[in-house]
Amino acid sequence: NFPEKAVLIEVGPRDGLQNEKNVLPTDVKLAFIKMLGEAGFTEMEIASFVSPKWVPQMADAAEVVRHASPALRNIVLTPNEKGLFNALDCGCGAAAFFVGVSTAFNQKNINRTTEESMQSILPLVTKMKDRGLFVRVCISTAFYCPYEGKMAEEDVMEICRRFVLAGADDLSVADTIGMANPHEVYSLFSKLKHTFPETLITAHFHDTRGMGLANVFAALQAGVDRFDTSAGGLGGCPFAPGATGNVATEDVLYMLEMMKIETGLSLEKVLEAVRDIETHLEKPPASKQYALWKAK
């Protein structure tokens, strides 16, 4: 009983690029987004409205948003009211808040405790829903934290419950440092799907230990049909030591195609987008499909 169709949310322009040391020119980012759009994505994280002192790569978020090709749902990340204000000012129709289950991680990432973040973000979720906008919430360190270790499922569920009550449309639940195993993934995502049947549930895996595809498989078994993936396997959170890229879009896409799960995406176009962005990156893309394609 796997889903017949799955949605891949491309996070390369945001999670993918935020961890790159080279600050890329805005037009390179826009070309990347355009090519990914041509691959058929309907949802994409294209930038984040965060402090440019914390993440210099995202300093041009407003320019990116203003000129990005209008995919069905262009999502921007925002940590606080100021970020949301800037995002709305650019006409964003969808935003993602982010909070860590682990307070130690949340402090490093957004300089607030988890509870402080919840208190400030929950009213912003409601504000967005009142305006009819799409709200995603990214739940970081949902399995392990680089500082606090294993997270309790009940804590993740409680944070999710509060966001669902506030009206969140989509919960993107993340294995920030790629430590989760398929048993843990199956267990948590089964509970999420069962407890919040009206909410979109998305799985966000980093492939630090090569568990990405196995975890996608486990999440599919739990009924998850939405995955955040990053073209070229780029990405990682600059404030999570040791975190590497997201599970690569092209690797997930290949697996889903072979499993006859429809995505509506073109693998070839994703690979072309990776080829074009590669020349601008400090570290090479990390994906099996790209390596095979390049060697052809």
CB-based contact 57:20 (threshold 8 Å): yes
Helix axis angle, 267-278 relative to 288-295, nearest 10°? 80
Catalytic residues, by residue number, are: 237
49 binds ligand HMG (CB under 6 A): yes
Query: Locate tokens 């099996």: which residue?
Result: 288
The pair of structure tokens assigned to 281 is 């990156």
Our CB check for ligand HMG shows the closer of 50 and 267 to be 50
Length of the chain: 296
Nearest approach, Cβ of 9 to ligand HMG (angstroms)?
Answer: 11
Distance from C-alpha of 71 to C-alpha of 74, rounded to nearest angstrom = 6
Nearest approach, Cβ of 260 to Mg ion (angstroms)?
Answer: 28
Q: Which of Mg ion, ligand HMG, none does 83 bind, CB closer than 5 to 8 A by kind? A: ligand HMG
Nearest approach, Cβ of 4 to ligand HMG (angstroms)?
Answer: 27
Query: Which listed residue (102, 176, 208, 289) binds ligand HMG by CB under 6 A?
Result: 176
82 binds ligand HMG (CB under 6 A): yes
Q: Phi first, then psi: what are they for 174, rounded to 5°? A: -115, 140
Nearest approach, Cβ of 295 to ligand HMG (angstroms)?
Answer: 30
Our CB check for ligand HMG shows the closer of 33 and 174 to be 174
Residue nearest to ligand HMG (CB): 83
Of residues 237-256, those binding ligand HMG (CB under 6 A) = 237, 239
Q: Which of Mg ion, ligand HMG, none does 114 bind, CB closer than 5 to 8 A by kind? A: none
15 binds Mg ion (CB under 5 A): yes
Of residues 103-122, those binding ligand HMG (CB under 6 A) = 109-111
Q: Which of Mg ion, ligand HMG, none does 286 bind, CB closer than 5 to 8 A by kind? A: none
Residues contacting residue 44 through CB under 8 Å, at least 6 positions apart: 9, 10, 11, 13, 33, 36, 37, 71, 73, 74, 75
Q: Which of Mg ion, ligand HMG, none does 140 bind, CB closer than 5 to 8 A by kind? A: ligand HMG
The residue range among 48-56, 151-159, 179-187, 191-199 that interacts with ligand HMG, by the rule CB under 6 A, is: 48-56
Query: Which listed residue (57, 74, 80, 263) binds ligand HMG by CB under 6 A?
Result: 80
Helix axis angle, 114-130 relative to 153-166, nearest 10°? 30
What one-letter code names the amino acid at 246?
N
Q: Which of Mg ion, ligand HMG, none does 111 bind, CB closer than 5 to 8 A by kind? A: ligand HMG
Of residues 128-147, those binding ligand HMG (CB under 6 A) = 138, 140
Query: Which listed residue (39, 204, 247, 267) binds ligand HMG by CB under 6 A?
Result: 204
Q: Which of Mg ion, ligand HMG, none does 221 bind, CB closer than 5 to 8 A by kind? A: none
178 binds ligand HMG (CB under 6 A): no
